[in-house]
Structure 1
Amino acid sequence: MSGDLMPTETAAAMPPDNRHRLELIEVELVGGHPPILFRPGFNLIHGDQTTGKTTLVKLIRAMLGSMPKKLPPEVVEHVTAIRGRVYLGPAIWNVYRPRTTTADALVEVSEEEPAANREPVSLRLPVKGRTRSYSLFLLDQLGIPAIDVPKGSKTANGAADPVTMTDWLTYCIITGNEIDTELMGSGDNWQNNKRQWVFQLAYGLYDPAEAHQRARLRSLELQIAGFDQAAEVREKFLAETPFADRNVLQEHIAARRHELERVIAERSAIAQEVVAIPGVEEIRRTLLAARTRRADLADRVTRIRAQLQDLHDLHKQLSSQSARFTRAIVADEWLVDFDFLVCPRCGNDVVPARTEPDKCYLCLQHPRPAPSRADMLAEQDRIANQITETADVINNRSNALSTLESEVRNLDVTISEIARQLDRHTTAFVSDRANALEHSAAQQARLESEIRNFRTYAELLERHERDLENREELQEQLDAVKAQLKSRKLDLGEGEENIKALERRLLEYLRKLRPGGLGGQLTVSINRTTYEPIVSGRAFEELSSQGLTTLVNIAHALAHHTVAIDRNLPMPGLLILDGVSANAGHEGFDLDRVSDVYRLLSDVGKRYRGRLQIVAVDNEVDRSIILQYAKFSVLTLTQEKKLIRPDQSSNR
């Protein structure tokens, strides 16, 4: 098929809602490619090599999980985000995922068709987060448990690690670099560990309720270990002091407080003795009165200086006004009789002809009658009298200021003399009491320091006792959780039946794919430790060719999804296979096997339509196969029409 887009089929004929349904409806590379429309069931994306097929798979994975750190330069240059419409369970959601690798990048999701009498939900969620994230949102919408599992082995009780949407996508997106070499990322230890955890969760080998209990168990153990470590440090510290007993510590604090009160009373008594020296109290009162008088005079000096400043300003204003009157009398004109060429307010030109000759061309009113020369002379005399009166007031205030400043200087001399006199009266007494005062001050400082230290010990002791009580409570909770875990025996019967169903389905699909190079009878089993398939007695890594590995990988991934649907196991209902016929022509994978693969994928897509969406991504294969499955093609790429087309991308 040569076209790029196929209209998606309606959901009218879909089977009943599948809670785990994850189905692409539309995917747009914002800035790089117009929307690609997908259909329920089987979909085909094909084209030449190096045209962007694998890049599209990576970006679809990024829209649903984590963004790869390394992308082709053309993607980095042109693609700003991935926009999609997807089924999450029974509902359609719009997703806008920015092309950024930061954990706090915000993904926008909005509900397309909310239930009746309810506004559509619209959220902005960080990519990662323990309590609120895009990954947790997807898991919740798909009805998949979002839990933490131990790092490392399947039974470890150490640090916990969350199983994210990206981990579940390991079973949903088989990339071109692993489809013929490894099983769902088994070549990476960390990713392989997560693959095994997803298997246990999906097939009922790991109870989420037990997982929560074990997580709580680990949390309690860590808290108790923290209490024990802190308690050990405090016990060692308190053991080196004589105050490990609360009662003894309180007795020491009370004794130090009593002694401190005595020392403070002694110092107060010495201070009172100073007052009792003959003549000291009278000198102190005289000194206090002098300083009070001096402060009052300083305040009056400040006020008079401010008044003088105002009077000098007034004198200048009156003198200026008198000079103006003199000029007006000489010119025989009123002060305000001016002609204006422009408006003094807005700056526009003034036209005298804008009004009648007897009106002011500025305010459009009749001018007041101009005063006579005699009026102006009388006004000038009045101003001259004000100038004389102001000068007299300035002279009086200046004399008063000089008097006050002189009194202030005399008071400064008096205060200095009285202070020296007080020092002479008290120096001998202070010298006699210096040792006593110094000793009392040292005692007071020592006692206050000891009381602070004792209080610190008391706080440590109180915290230590409180932590011991809390530890006892945590220990009781820990014992209860251990008892619950001991009494809870995971029913492995159902999980074992699920695995057997997977073995039967994988054998069924492999028989349809007719792999060669195995010899003897075709058998299938699942390793109960690694959860990898064993085909005709061979472990996955022992398969003889890349063609055979590809067939087993396809059948294995497809079996997981169909068994999960049949047995209502949690598994996102999306399977993307990249490089379906990449090894066509190799040993055990000829053109007939390619035809078998396409037949199986289309048949399964038809049978599980609306519950499982399959997207096969492939190079150009035999023309007969392309023509046979042309109706399933949703995107064809060529060297002339590659995936990244910035000039044709949507600008929505």
Structure 2
Amino acid sequence: MKSISPLLLINKLVLVGHDEKEYSVPFNPGVNIIYGDSDTGKSSILNLIDYLLGSKKVYMYEEIEKNGKYALLEVNLNGSVYTIKRDIFKPEELIEVYSTSIENMSELFPALYGPNYQKEGPAGYFSDFLLNALNIPLVKIKQAPSKMDSDLSRLSFRDIFKFNYLDQDDVGNRNILDSGNFSVFTKNKETFKFLHNLLDSQITDLQGQISEKTNEKNKLLESYNVISSFFKDTNIQTLETLSDDLAEYKQEVENINREIQSINTQMRSDNAYFNDLRNLILRLESELKLDTEAKSLKLAQLEQHVRLKKDYQQDIDKLESSLAIIKRLPEHKEEVDCPICSSKIEYTKLALNFEKNNSETVKMEIKSIKNRLKELETLIDAERRNIISIEAEENHKNENLKKARQMLDIEAKEFVSPFIAQRDELVAEKATVIEKMNKVEYLIKLRKQLNEIITKSNHLSEQIGQLTKKLDQLRAGAPSIEGVLSNIGSSLELFLKAIPIRKPFGISISKKNFLPIVRDRNYSELTSGGLRTLVSVGYILSLLQNSLNNSTNFPSIVMIDTIGKYLGKTKNGNDSIEVNTNEDILEGLDDPSKVINLYSFLTNLSEKFLEKDKLHQIIIIDNDLPVELEVMVHLQKYVVKYFNVQGKNGGSVGFIDNA
């Protein structure tokens, strides 16, 4: 079944580290749960996904910063598979996109995209690639909607994805979707309208998009005809013939290898030649051992620097907190109120802790530590470059060692002069065949690139058809804002009643800011952090539900980090769980059944949509699951990663599992 809204599914995330070691997480359609101990890289998984979908930077925990190099994300965009590759330390570099799976990346040339609208790549902008692949129109929206002559700003994929991803700071946040920032929130409200086809200009925008895609398709077909004609004139064979040739060359190489192996078994020892090769191997092995030790030392130094960097940052945070307290000390009084417990404290005792450090002294110390932090970051970059340099040298020496061992049979293969010439002849023949193989593989890539043009043309035809259908729907009767808000509000109400919250009445979506209203109170006016958590989760799920039931521009994915924030759990002694406020206690949110009902609602909702062939994805991060949920067998099928710092119960020690 074709999705009526943009289809975005994450297939696989891979972080590639030193020595090309891979750390990966697979994902499935429907619900995906990642949970476990703190500081194991759970949030970094969603941060990496967000980064590979175009965010400005990735927020890394220490192990990723120490071990990572670049990341890969395999995604399904409206039925087409792509792999996105991005350096995690160089966010300004071009982003590579391969129109295939991670396993088949080497078979195609990548398209290079600019990471933002300030830097255009050879293939254009990454945001435009995502929007085009998802068949979301490229539009500009008013910065001041109430003004007729308002300036227009380009709508990016990042503007849209704000409605799909609740990071751990957004869940339960009073100022969700930047509602506390007027200029940013104004654009967010216009984005909300665009997502649900409520902008007055969308019919005109769709017409323009159809025209642009039609012109793009015609240009692609023109390019295809030119390139195809060139291939024909230069007698470049078809993809099928080239594939057959490649298979034949591979068979030739295998046959030559067998002949070389046969000669090796017949050779007798040429002592001088044997000794030279043996000495070369010993020397290379010794050098490689030194390189390994040097790299281990550099990695240890890098780890120390990264930890020291973390310590410096903590010192800065503490000093800035002290500076804030110094500024807020009252004028000399006999007693002051404690800001925590409201009891009385003698001013002389309170001031005694700060009198030796005036604000200027603290500021100078902060500045000093920041200077040291900057120097340390330079050292970290230098250490990382040194490690990469050593690895390159190791690879070179390993290749030479491999070649030397091939020439020298340690297991008693001996060389004699009559066989050397014959063997050299075969090696030369093998090199010739491999050169032909490389040429054929290059031509196959070119042929596949030509086929990509036809594939893109077919995708454009499908997109044009979908846009035309959407245009006809809008012309026949664009959705009303009242209808859209009613649908989303009804879904939110069903969610909150399923939990259930206390007094689930007055639930709707505000016509003014498009945010939830509960008990006839705006979202920002809700005083319970646990209640805001549930409402924010229910809101983003309701947006997903609406997109699966109606034609929208909302991608079919939501990611929620720390979904159980402020909600009660049943495990004892878990310091990572935040203490409930009085408001949360009044709401009854310390009841573990709330979390059980939350997960049950998620899984039931997802399964119902999947049964109707409505593909979507819900990725959840949580610190732990209530004991009742952990023993529920049916829930375990949704767990894609479980982390336990001690490696117990089948859990990984962390996203980076080198230990």
TM-score (norm 2): 0.50
Tell me the equivalent position of 1:632.
638
**2:10 counterpart of 1:24:** yes
Matches within 5 A, 1:529-540: 529-540=512-523
- RMSD after superposition: 3.1
Give the whole-Å Cα distance in 2 for the aligned partners of 1:195 and 1:490: 27
Tell me the equivalent position of 1:200.
193
Give the whole-Å Cα distance in 1 for the aligned partners of 2:603 and 2:191: 26
> Cα distance, 1:496 vs. partner?
2.7
Q: Is the Cα–Cα contact under 8 Å of residues 22 and 142 in structure 1 kept in the other structure? A: yes
**2:41 counterpart of 1:52:** yes
Write the deviation string for residues 208-254 of structure 1: whole angstroms up to 9, x where unpaired. 447759x9xxxxxxxxxxxxxxxxxxxxxxxxxxxxxxxxxxxxxxx
Write the deviation string for residues 291-329 of structure 1: whole angstroms up to 9, x where unpaired. xxxxxxxxxxxxxxxxxxxxxxxxxxxxxxxxxxxxxxx
Give the whole-Å Cα distance in 2 for the aligned partners of 1:596 and 1:155: 46
> Cα distance, 1:199 vs. partner?
0.7
Question: Compared with structure 1, are the counterparts of its residues 155 and 68 closer, same or farther at alpha carbon in structure 2 (3 Å cutoff)?
Answer: farther
Equivalent pairs, count: 354
Give the whole-Å Cα distance in 2 for the aligned partners of 1:604 and 1:68: 33
Question: Compared with structure 1, are the counterparts of its residues 524 and 492 closer, same or farther at alpha carbon in structure 2 (3 Å cutoff)?
Answer: farther
Matches within 5 A, 1:107-186: 107-112=95-100, 122-129=110-117, 132-153=124-145, 155=147, 157-182=149-174, 183-186=176-179
Aligned equivalent of 1:37, options 19, 22, 26: 26
Write the deviation string for residues 391-416 of structure 1: whole angstroms up to 9, x where unpaired. xxxxxxxxxxxxxxxxxxxxxxxxxx
Give the whole-Å Cα distance in 2 for the aligned partners of 1:508 and 1:126: 42
Tell me the equivalent position of 1:421.
none
Greater relative contact order structure (CA < 8 Å, 6+ sep): 1
Give the whole-Å Cα distance in 1 for the aligned partners of 2:609 and 2:22: 29
Give the whole-Å Cα distance in 1 for the aligned partners of 2:545 and 2:43: 25
For the residue of structure 1 that corresponds to 2:52, the secondary structure is helix
Aligned equivalent of 1:505, options 482, 491, 502: 491
Q: Is the Cα–Cα contact under 8 Å of residues 23 and 655 in structure 2 kept in the other structure? A: no
Matches within 5 A, 1:162-561: 162-182=154-174, 183-209=176-202, 494-516=480-502, 519=503, 522-561=505-544
Question: Gaps spanning 5+ residues in structure 1: where?
Answer: 1-14, 114-118, 216-487
Question: Compared with structure 1, are the counterparts of its residues 34 and 543 closer, same or farther at alpha carbon in structure 2 (3 Å cutoff)?
Answer: same
Q: Is the Cα–Cα contact under 8 Å of residues 147 and 208 in structure 1 kept in the other structure? A: no
Tell me the equivalent position of 2:230.
none
Letter in 1 for 2:508: S
> Cα distance, 1:120 vs. partner?
6.8
Give the whole-Å Cα distance in 2 for the aligned partners of 1:73 and 1:158: 45
Question: Compared with structure 1, are the counterparts of its residues 78 and 186 closer, same or farther at alpha carbon in structure 2 (3 Å cutoff)?
Answer: farther
> Cα distance, 1:16 vs. partner?
4.0
Give the whole-Å Cα distance in 2 for the aligned partners of 1:554 and 1:527: 17
Matches within 5 A, 1:573-592: 573-585=556-568, 586=580, 587=584, 588=587, 589=589, 590-592=591-593
For the residue of structure 1 that corresponds to 2:593, the secondary structure is helix
Give the whole-Å Cα distance in 1 for the aligned partners of 2:148 and 2:10: 37
Letter in 2 for 1:147: V
> Cα distance, 1:615 vs. partner?
0.9
> Cα distance, 1:154 vs. partner?
5.4
**2:624 counterpart of 1:623:** no
Write the deviation string for residues 319-375 of structure 1: whole angstroms up to 9, x where unpaired. xxxxxxxxxxxxxxxxxxxxxxxxxxxxxxxxxxxxxxxxxxxxxxxxxxxxxxxxx
Aligned equivalent of 1:83, options 72, 76, 83: 72
Give the whole-Å Cα distance in 1 for the aligned partners of 2:477 and 2:527: 37
Q: Is the Cα–Cα contact under 8 Å of residues 149 and 211 in structure 1 kept in the other structure? A: no
* Overall identity of the aligned pairs, in %: 20
For the residue of structure 2 that corresponds to 1:551, the secondary structure is helix
Question: Compared with structure 1, are the counterparts of its residues 505 and 69 closer, same or farther at alpha carbon in structure 2 (3 Å cutoff)?
Answer: closer
Give the whole-Å Cα distance in 1 for the aligned partners of 2:551 and 2:475: 22
Q: Is the Cα–Cα contact under 8 Å of residues 45 and 616 in structure 1 kept in the other structure? A: yes
> Cα distance, 1:106 vs. partner?
1.3
Give the whole-Å Cα distance in 1 for the aligned partners of 2:548 and 2:609: 8
Tell me the equivalent position of 1:12.
none
Question: Compared with structure 1, are the counterparts of its residues 509 and 70 closer, same or farther at alpha carbon in structure 2 (3 Å cutoff)?
Answer: closer
Write the deviation string for residues 393-452 of structure 1: whole angstroms up to 9, x where unpaired. xxxxxxxxxxxxxxxxxxxxxxxxxxxxxxxxxxxxxxxxxxxxxxxxxxxxxxxxxxxx
Question: Compared with structure 1, are the counterparts of its residues 128 and 604 closer, same or farther at alpha carbon in structure 2 (3 Å cutoff)?
Answer: same
Q: Is the Cα–Cα contact under 8 Å of residues 5 and 547 in structure 2 kept in the other structure? A: no
Give the whole-Å Cα distance in 2 for the aligned partners of 1:207 and 1:529: 17
Write the deviation string for residues 80-108 of structure 1: whole angstroms up to 9, x where unpaired. 222011111111111112224644x2111
Q: Is the Cα–Cα contact under 8 Å of residues 45 and 635 in structure 1 kept in the other structure? A: yes
Q: Is the Cα–Cα contact under 8 Å of residues 98 and 110 in structure 2 kept in the other structure? A: yes
Matches within 5 A, 1:584-603: 584-585=567-568, 586=580, 587=584, 588=587, 589=589, 590-603=591-604
Write the deviation string for residues 366-389 of structure 1: whole angstroms up to 9, x where unpaired. xxxxxxxxxxxxxxxxxxxxxxxx
> Cα distance, 1:161 vs. partner?
1.8
Q: Is the Cα–Cα contact under 8 Å of residues 33 and 643 in structure 1 kept in the other structure? A: no
> Cα distance, 1:139 vs. partner?
0.9
Letter in 2 for 1:20: P
TM-score (norm 1): 0.50
Give the whole-Å Cα distance in 1 for the aligned partners of 2:64 and 2:143: 34
Letter in 1 for 2:546: V
Moved segments of 4+, more than 6 Å: 488-492
Give the whole-Å Cα distance in 2 for the aligned partners of 1:66 and 1:109: 16
Give the whole-Å Cα distance in 1 for the aligned partners of 2:3 and 2:203: 29
> Cα distance, 1:539 vs. partner?
0.4
For the residue of structure 2 that corresponds to 1:43, the secondary structure is strand
> Cα distance, 1:544 vs. partner?
2.7
Give the whole-Å Cα distance in 2 for the aligned partners of 1:634 and 1:169: 23
Question: Compared with structure 1, are the counterparts of its residues 211 and 181 closer, same or farther at alpha carbon in structure 2 (3 Å cutoff)?
Answer: farther
> Cα distance, 1:170 vs. partner?
0.8
Give the whole-Å Cα distance in 2 for the aligned partners of 1:572 and 1:490: 24
Question: Compared with structure 1, are the counterparts of its residues 507 and 98 closer, same or farther at alpha carbon in structure 2 (3 Å cutoff)?
Answer: same
Give the whole-Å Cα distance in 2 for the aligned partners of 1:122 and 1:541: 45
> Cα distance, 1:26 vs. partner?
0.6
Question: Compared with structure 1, are the counterparts of its residues 81 and 67 closer, same or farther at alpha carbon in structure 2 (3 Å cutoff)?
Answer: farther
Give the whole-Å Cα distance in 1 for the aligned partners of 2:86 and 2:609: 28
Letter in 1 for 2:173: T
Question: Compared with structure 1, are the counterparts of its residues 86 and 151 closer, same or farther at alpha carbon in structure 2 (3 Å cutoff)?
Answer: same
Aligned equivalent of 2:85, options 83, 90, 96: 96
Give the whole-Å Cα distance in 1 for the aligned partners of 2:181 and 2:645: 33
Letter in 1 for 2:625: V
Question: Compared with structure 1, are the counterparts of its residues 562 and 82 closer, same or farther at alpha carbon in structure 2 (3 Å cutoff)?
Answer: same
Q: Is the Cα–Cα contact under 8 Å of residues 556 and 615 in structure 2 kept in the other structure? A: yes
Question: Compared with structure 1, are the counterparts of its residues 499 and 492 closer, same or farther at alpha carbon in structure 2 (3 Å cutoff)?
Answer: farther
For the residue of structure 2 that corresponds to 1:25, the secondary structure is strand
Give the whole-Å Cα distance in 2 for the aligned partners of 1:154 and 1:138: 29
Question: Compared with structure 1, are the counterparts of its residues 551 and 19 closer, same or farther at alpha carbon in structure 2 (3 Å cutoff)?
Answer: closer
Q: Is the Cα–Cα contact under 8 Å of residues 41 and 61 in structure 2 kept in the other structure? A: no
Give the whole-Å Cα distance in 2 for the aligned partners of 1:184 and 1:627: 35
Matches within 5 A, 1:557-572: 557-572=540-555
Give the whole-Å Cα distance in 2 for the aligned partners of 1:497 and 1:162: 27
Structure index of larger Rg: 1
Write the deviation string for residues 159-186 of structure 1: whole angstroms up to 9, x where unpaired. 3222211111111111111111232343
For the residue of structure 1 that corresponds to 2:637, the secondary structure is helix
